[in-house]
Structure 1
Amino acid sequence: MTTTKVRPLNDRVLVKRMSEEEKTAGGLFIPDSAKEKPAKGVVISAGPGKVDDNGKRTPLEVKAGDKVLFGKYSGTEIKLDGEEHMILREDEILAILEA
């Protein structure tokens, strides 16, 4: 199996969606048709940062391994090696989830 390497540019971030819940807190199983895609994921890789008007690069706050929340309609969905990923701008990330 080949592994695709993706290196985001500028202020973009590659995020792998976290798997959604299979059942409710009460123990009921959720059918696939009723599942919403989760708006949280793990940062796989991040670009070097955005270049400002003076040519200075501002590094990103997120880094590989961070768990993040993002908007429901944010980013662009892509498939890498059969798994769903998102490419987002850093400003589309709403929060970093702390452990």
Structure 2
Amino acid sequence: MSQVNIKPLADRVLVEPAAAEEKTASGIIIPETAKEKPQRGTIVAVGPGKKDEPLTVKVGDEVLYGKFAGNEKITVEGTEYLIMRETDIIAIL
């Protein structure tokens, strides 16, 4: 897990997406153009939450999120992160 100096606001979280699968379970190598966007990642920073809604996730949690969640991408020191609202997170693994 990376250490970043970014503090999301309100109910937003900063997620480091997991790497896309390189091979199928049977060993077939997936070409770059056919790889799906990962829907799993690790939370590296969380905001303070909203006044009446505290956050239920914490730094270090591995989460599943929606396919189109986290449209805001940022790159810090060569690592790409997604910023999304906590409501875009489907489950904590």
Fold similarity call, TM over 0.5: yes
Give the counterpart letter for 1:65 in structure 2.
G
Query: Is the 8 Å Cα contact of residues 4 and 44 (structure 2) preserved in structure 1?
Result: no
5+ unaligned residues in a row in structure 2: which ranges?
Answer: none
* One of 85, 88, 93 as aligned partner of 1:92: 88
Larger Rg: 1
- Gap change, CA 1:39 and 1:8, over 3 Å in 2: same
Return the alpha-carbon distance in structure 2 between the equivalents of residues 6 and 44 of structure 1. Answer: 9
Say if 2:36 is the partner of 1:36. yes
Question: Percent identity among equivalent residues?
Answer: 52
> What residue is the counterpart of 2:59 in the other structure?
64
In the TM superposition, residue 4 of structure 1 has moved relative to its aligned partner by 5.2
Q: Deviations over 1:29-87 (max 9, x none)?
A: 111111011011000010111124xxxxx321000000011111112121121111100
**Alignment CA distance shift 1:18-1:74 (3 Å):** same
Q: Does 2:3 align with 1:8?
A: no
The AA in structure 1 aligned to 2:42 is: V
Query: What is the deviation of 1:27?
Result: 0.6
What is the aligned-residue RMSD (CA, Å)?
1.4
| Residue matched to 2:74 | 78
User: What TM-score results when the alignment is normalised by the length of structure 1?
Assistant: 0.84
Unaligned runs of 5+ in 1: 53-57
One-letter identity of the residue aligned with 1:67:
E
For these two proteins, the number of residue pairs brought into alignment is: 90
Residue in 2 that maps onto 1:21: 21
